[in-house]
Structure 1
Amino acid sequence: MSYLEYSVKSTPTGLRKILFMNWPLTLLLISVACVGFLMLYSVAGGSFTPWAEPQMKRFVLGLGVMTVVALVPIWFWRNMAVLAYAVSIMLLIAVELFGTVGMGAQRWIDIGFMRLQPSELMKITLIMVLAAYYDWLPGNKTSRPLWVLVPVLIILLPTFMVLRQPDLGTSILLLMAGGGLMFLAGVHWAYFAAVIAAGVGLITAVFQGRGTDWQLLKNYQYRRIDTFLDPSSDPLGAGYHITQSKIALGSGGWTGRGFMQGTQSRLNFLPEKHTDFIFTTLAEEFGFVGGFSLLGLYTLIIVFCIATAIATKDRFSSLVTLGVSINFFLFFAVNMSMVMGLAPVVGVPLPMVSYGGSAMLVLMLAFGLVQSAHIHRPRGAPR
């Protein structure tokens, strides 16, 4: 019996697939989501509206999406990767043409019951198409210049489209996630060294170009950099967010002020307390112990994803699972660094905790791919 024939015959069928889901991973996702519900209830002053209740409904829908995606064989998602990427590109074009404007940016499409953010979907479809590409490409061609150029273009196209919205945070995540997957796929380290050198040159150009006709960033993005370097330079203006965030983080101490006792969020000193800065509310109310516990849950999710990637035998399943892990890690690492003042404020939500529909549903879709790889992996050894 060939390996392919064995892998098809050894995977569960029908409803038995539900029994073979990665249930520890599912329970971890539910646990993190419950932390989010708790914090959204708190920042609303002890009310399920306007944030906790819609978030619960979206998570239940997300669980359904994850389950449906998980039950479909992983080879189907491999075959759909290029189409999914193309649809995401078309949605980004649609945003450019008639997207909804909010907070000075044009990032959403209003579909009635929610506002869809196509750049969130692109984070996953980009991982899918890169994993499919390297699954198709012979290993001896991975580092050849022509075959390196193809994934670079695949990454840069949506990155520049998202940057135009403008959404610097998501653009950075797309670049980092795509580059990380290329590295894991076996692309030679010399390419990454060249990119790092070019990045240093780009950063220099960013600062040199400020105030000129060819400046590379928007003025508000430059202000974010200034705030990152010296928040006290404008504590009531551009530095207000990070200053209040640091106050909230510091006031929590080791064990926090107690549930719904955080003064920074309760008295509305903390902006965006239900989205990008929700981690500071958690740290103020539950202290270092609460923040570290959430970080532990995130770490366990990544550990289970990596275990699935190791257990799978085909290249696409392994790469797409590792890609989801990279994406998930970048989400919470950038957000936590941002609210602690270790990175510029770039508008990246805390996964499964911050209020938001698109991010929640897309993350659950991504974990559905991980579950599909886990369910449909061959078990045992072919005879």
Structure 2
Amino acid sequence: MDRRLWREPSFDLMGKILQINWIYVLLLCCLAGVGYTALYSAGGGSAEPYATRHALRFAFGLVIALAIGLVDIRIIAKLAWPAWFGCVVLLGLVLRMGHVGKGAQRWLDLGGLQLQPSEMMKLALILALASWFHRASWERMGNPLFLIPPALATLVPVGLILKEPNLGTATITAMIGGAIFFAAGVRWWKFALVLLPIPLLAPIAYSHLHDYQRARIDTFLHPESDPLGAGYNIIQSKIALGSGGMWGQGFLQGTQAHLDFLPEKQTDFIFTIIGEEFGFVGALAVIGLLALIVLGGMLIALRCRNQFGRLVALGIACNFFFYVFVNIAMVMGVIPVGGVPLPLVSHGGSAMLTVMVGFGILMSVHVHRDVEFGDTRDDR
């Protein structure tokens, strides 16, 4: 049996810079440009207070992403479980001394910088699960005892995030874990066993939700029941999207946004500005750009020769997809409002930094797609 040890990481700076997927970087820059345009409009036709900060944060995040892309993926793999444990500690600190905002305790205030550990936890979970599964044989994947540690590694942060409370991020974290379990080769019937009780437990879970969370679900089902209260945001969002028509009202001409009918237009509901001002065609073009970024991440996963890199790339692509799906579905009224931003488009620093770190790790997977981890799935 081939029991290859990890080869020592090498560092060829120029070679690695040339290996970076610059087309993918261009796609990220285009999406950030869409965000700048939308935030310029959200600021009333001014770069302040949103667009300039967005551009600076993206530039900073891009430098970090490119730097991470040059780091050998095997070094990142060695940091997977320490990162997971560190994020668990940070989530515990949030519950004890976190900053409270809008009824939730989700941030650590670090001298003016607000850090949201739940966002970092998603990346740490991806790395930890990929580290656990990348050497697993198909026989070990069929052993339920082998799946207990990664299941706990997923459930512990999900539970801590639910305590903040942050139902949207907890759900996305659980879905990321499920995606990696599935990609690693866990049999579908085991997922069925886990998902089967959910409809039965849903009423019990609903009764334990916070008042504002129940209000979001009730508003999703019957937004017209409180048009000036809980249902106001989603009603105004639908009006804005519908008023854009096929070609939109024109840049800086959106009525719902510029007359301040639409709350949180610079964050959760940024996509409504795009739909209102650029219409169905513009919104579809942005969705196409988002889809290219997701598919690009999937392609990087398929081209990677080691299982760790494949699982990491898949997890990061899924994380981005879940961000996009939840945000766009939310503003369209397809799912309840959950406070999830549109990545690289919405205003916000913590989510931007986390997403760019994730793309940096994705770049590292691409640059080091041919390195050997000593995967032994076929010979165990």
Q: Give the letter aligned to residue 66 of structure 2.
A: T
Contact 2:243 2:276 in 1 (8 A): yes
Deviation per CA, 1:18-52, whole angstroms, max 9, x where unpaired? 11101111000010011001111111111111111
C-alpha distance in structure 2 between counterparts of 1:32 and 1:313, whole Å: 29
Alignment of 1:53 with 2:45, yes or no, is no
How far residue 370 of structure 1 moved from its aligned partner, in angstroms, is 0.9
Q: Give the letter aligned to residue 160 of structure 2.
A: M
Alignment of 1:172 with 2:164, yes or no, is no
5+ residue gaps in structure 2? Answer: 372-380
Deviation per CA, 1:111-156, whole angstroms, max 9, x where unpaired? 2352111111011111110000101333321132111222111111
How far residue 15 of structure 1 moved from its aligned partner, in angstroms, is 2.5
C-alpha distance in structure 1 between counterparts of 2:44 and 2:3, whole Å: 57
C-alpha distance in structure 2 between counterparts of 1:35 and 1:198, whole Å: 42
Per the alignment, residue 78 of structure 2 pairs with 79
Q: Summarize the alignment of residues 287-298 of structure 1 with structure 2, pairs less than 5 Å apart.
A: 287-298=279-290
C-alpha distance in structure 2 between counterparts of 1:200 and 1:145, whole Å: 24
Per the alignment, residue 87 of structure 2 pairs with 88
C-alpha distance in structure 2 between counterparts of 1:321 and 1:257, whole Å: 38
How much is the aligned-residue C-alpha RMSD, in angstroms?
A: 1.8
Per the alignment, residue 196 of structure 1 pairs with 195
Alignment of 1:335 with 2:334, yes or no, is no
Per the alignment, residue 252 of structure 1 pairs with 244
Q: Summarize the alignment of residues 8-27 of structure 1 with structure 2, pairs less than 5 Å apart.
A: 13-27=12-26
Contact 1:40 1:52 in 2 (8 A): yes
Per the alignment, residue 211 of structure 1 pairs with none
5+ residue gaps in structure 1? Answer: 208-214
Contact 1:177 1:326 in 2 (8 A): yes
C-alpha distance in structure 2 between counterparts of 1:202 and 1:26, whole Å: 43
C-alpha distance in structure 2 between counterparts of 1:3 and 1:113, whole Å: 50
Which of these residues, 359, 368, 374, is aligned with residue 360 of structure 2? Answer: 368
SS in 2 for 1:265: helix
How far residue 16 of structure 1 moved from its aligned partner, in angstroms, is 2.2
C-alpha distance in structure 2 between counterparts of 1:205 and 1:166, whole Å: 17
Q: Summarize the alignment of residues 108-147 of structure 1 with structure 2, pairs less than 5 Å apart.
A: 108-147=107-146
Contact 1:245 1:340 in 2 (8 A): yes
Which of these residues, 286, 289, 304, is aligned with residue 296 of structure 2? Answer: 304
SS in 1 for 2:279: helix
Per the alignment, residue 337 of structure 2 pairs with 345
SS in 2 for 1:259: coil
SS in 1 for 2:108: strand
How far residue 79 of structure 1 moved from its aligned partner, in angstroms, is 0.6
Contact 2:109 2:115 in 1 (8 A): yes
Instruction: Give the % identical residues.
Output: 46
How far residue 8 of structure 1 moved from its aligned partner, in angstroms, is 7.1
Q: Give the letter aligned to residue 161 of structure 1.
A: L
Contact 1:302 1:325 in 2 (8 A): yes
Which of these residues, 228, 239, 258, is aligned with residue 236 of structure 1? Answer: 228
| Superposition TM-score, scaled by structure 1 size | 0.93
The count of residues paired between Structure 1 and Structure 2 equals 370
